[in-house]
Amino acid sequence: MSPRHVILETLQGGYHGGAESRLMIHEGTCGTATNVRQEVERVGLIEVCEENDVEVVYGSCDGNCWAAPSATLRHENDASEFVEKRFSRLDELIRVEDFGVLLNGMQRGQGFVDGKSGLLDRLGRLDGSLEHAVWLGAYSNVDQILRGSKSDALQRIEDWKLTGRGGAHFPTALKWRLASGNEGPRYLVVNAEEGEPGVFKDRHLLEGDPHRLLEGILICCFVVGIEKVFIYVNGQARAAFNSLSKAVEQAKAAGLLGPEFLPNGLRVDIELRQGAGGYVCGEESVILNSIEGARPVPRFKPPFATDEGLWGRPTVINNAETLAAVTTLWQDEPPPTKLVSLSGNVARPGVYEVPADGTLSWAGLLLQAGGEPGSTPAILLGGPSGVFVIPERYDEKIKMSEVGAGGLVALAPDSSIRSVVQALTKYNLRESCGECTPCREGTLRLDALLSVDTVDFDKVTSLVEVMSEASLCMLGGMAGRPVLSAIEDFPTIWKGKA
Amino acid sequence: MSEWRRPLEIADHEMREFISELSMIEREKQYLLPSFHLAQEIFGWVPPVAVEKIADFLRVPLSEVYATLTAYSELRIAPDEKDYWFICTGVACEMKGAQNIVQQLADADEFKVRDIDCQFLCSLAPVCVDDSGGLHGRVEVSELISGIRESQTGGE
Ligand SMILES: Cc1cc2nc3c(=O)[nH]c(=O)nc-3n(C[C@H](O)[C@H](O)[C@H](O)COP(=O)(O)O)c2cc1C
Ligand code: SF4
Ligand code: FES
B19 and B65 share one domain: yes
Q: Which residues of B touch A420 (CB under 8 A)?
A: 91, 94
Residue A381: what pLDDT? 98
Q: For the domain that residue A490 is a member of, what is the CATH number? A: 1.20.1440.230
Domain for residue A76, yes or no?
yes
A398 and A436 share one domain: no
Domain for residue A453, yes or no?
yes
Residue A112: what pLDDT? 54
A266 and A363 share one domain: no
Is the pLDDT confidence value at A472 over 50?
yes
Which residue range(s) make up the domain with A249? 148-330
Which residue range(s) make up the domain with B92? 85-152
B56 and B97 share one domain: no
Q: What strand order describes the sheet that includes A269-274? A: A269-274, A228-233, A187-192, A315-319
Domain for residue B37, yes or no?
yes
Distance of CA B103 to the CA centre of its chain: 23
Where is the domain boundary, A62, A91, A126? A126
Distance of CA A330 to the CA centre of its chain: 20
Beta pairing, strands A82-87 & A187-192: unpaired
Domain for residue A426, yes or no?
yes
Mean confidence (pLDDT) of chain B:
92
A273 and A212 share one domain: yes
Ligand 1 closest atom vs CA A195: 8
∠ at Cα A244 (A238, A247), nearest 5°?
145
Domain for residue B3, yes or no?
no
What confidence tens digit (pLDDT) does each residue in B23-76 have?
999 999 999 999 999 999 999 999 999 999 999 999 999 999 999 999 999 999
Is the pLDDT confidence value at A113 over 70?
no
∠ at Cα A32 (A31, A38), nearest 5°?
90
Residue A72: what pLDDT? 87
A397 and A353 share one domain: yes
Half-sphere exposure of A433 (CA within 13 A, CB side): 26
More confident site: B135 or A105: B135
**Could you write out the DSSP letters of every residue in A466-494?**
HHHHH-SSHHHHHTTHHHHHHHHH-GGGG
Residue A73: what pLDDT? 85
Residues 6+ apart with CB under 8 A from A205: A119, A123, A212, A213, A320, A321, A324, A339
CB contact under 8 A, B89 and A200: no
Domain for residue B109, yes or no?
yes
Mean pLDDT score, A17-23: 75
Mean pLDDT score, A263-275: 97
Q: Which residues of B touch A297 (CB under 8 A)?
A: 71
Mean pLDDT score, A71-88: 73
Q: For the domain that residue A84 is a member of, what is the CATH number? A: 3.40.30
Mean confidence (pLDDT) of chain A:
92
Spatial contact of A324 and A119, defined as CB atoms under 8 Å apart: yes
Domain for residue B146, yes or no?
yes
Nearest to A390 by CA among A398, A374, A403, A379: A379
A175 and A276 share one domain: yes
Binning pLDDT at 50, 70 and 90, where does residue B82 land? confident
Spatial contact of A473 and A280, defined as CB atoms under 8 Å apart: yes
A166 and A294 share one domain: yes
- Flag the least confident range among A326-340, A464-478, B15-29, B59-73: A326-340
What confidence tens digit (pLDDT) does each residue in A30-74 have?
999 999 999 888 888 888 888 888 899 999 999 999 999 999 888
B93 and B144 share one domain: yes
ipTM entry:
0.94
Domain for residue A399, yes or no?
yes
Residue A485: what pLDDT? 98
Is the pLDDT confidence value at A100 over 80?
no
Domain for residue B4, yes or no?
no
The DSSP bridge partners found for residue A337 are: A355
The DSSP bridge partners found for residue B87 are: B115, B128
Residue A47: what pLDDT? 87
Residue B83: what pLDDT? 84
In short, whether B87's Cβ falls inside 6 Å of ligand 3 is no
Cα A438 to middle of ligand 2, angstroms: 8
Domain for residue A131, yes or no?
no
- Flag the least confident range among A129-143, A392-406, A430-444, B26-40: A129-143
Domain for residue B96, yes or no?
yes
Q: For the domain that residue A368 is a member of, what is the CATH number? A: 3.10.20.600
Total residue length of chain A: 498
Domain for residue B79, yes or no?
no
B61 and B98 share one domain: no
A240 and A297 share one domain: yes
In angstroms, the CA A131 to CA A126 distance is: 10
Q: For the domain that residue A169 is a member of, what is the CATH number? A: 3.40.50.11540
Domain for residue A296, yes or no?
yes
Domain for residue A134, yes or no?
no
Where is the domain boundary, A126, A159, A193? A126
B61 and B107 share one domain: no
Binning pLDDT at 50, 70 and 90, where does residue B156 land? very low
Distance of CA B46 to the CA centre of its chain: 11
B113 and B90 share one domain: yes
Residues 6+ apart with CB under 8 A from A403: A338, A340, A354, A381
Residue B36: what pLDDT? 98
Q: Where are the alpha helices (DSSP H) in A225-339?
A: 238-253, 284-292, 320-326
- Judge whether B32 is closer than 8 Å to chain A, CB to CB: yes
A326 and A181 share one domain: yes
* Number of structural domains in chain A: 4
Q: For the domain that residue B146 is a member of, what is the CATH number? A: 3.40.30.10
- Within 10 angstroms of residue A392's Cβ, the number of other Cβ atoms is 8
Question: Ligand 1 pocket: which residues have CB below 6 Å?
Answer: A 164-168, 170, 191, 193-196, 279-280, 282-284, 317-319, 322, 473-475
Mean pLDDT score, B2-20: 78
Half-sphere exposure of A372 (CA within 13 A, CB side): 4
A172 and A292 share one domain: yes
Is the pLDDT confidence value at A478 over 50?
yes
- Within 10 angstroms of residue B40's Cβ, the number of other Cβ atoms is 20
A266 and A180 share one domain: yes
Nearest to A384 by CA among A341, A443, A456, A469: A443
A322 and A215 share one domain: yes
A431 and A395 share one domain: no
Residue B1: what pLDDT? 41
Cα A443 to middle of ligand 2, angstroms: 10
Is the pLDDT confidence value at A83 over 90?
no
Ligand 1 closest atom vs CA A282: 5
Nearest to A295 among B71, B94, B118 (CB): B71
Residue A82: what pLDDT? 66
Ligand 3 closest atom vs CA A409: 1
Domain for residue B75, yes or no?
no
* Number of structural domains in chain B: 2
Residue A18: what pLDDT? 63
Where is the domain boundary, A391, A410, A429? A410
Is the pLDDT confidence value at B2 over 50?
no
Cα A167 to middle of ligand 2, angstroms: 17
Q: Which residues of A touch B90 (CB under 8 A)?
A: 197-198
Cα B92 to middle of ligand 3, angstroms: 5
Is the pLDDT confidence value at A96 over 60?
no
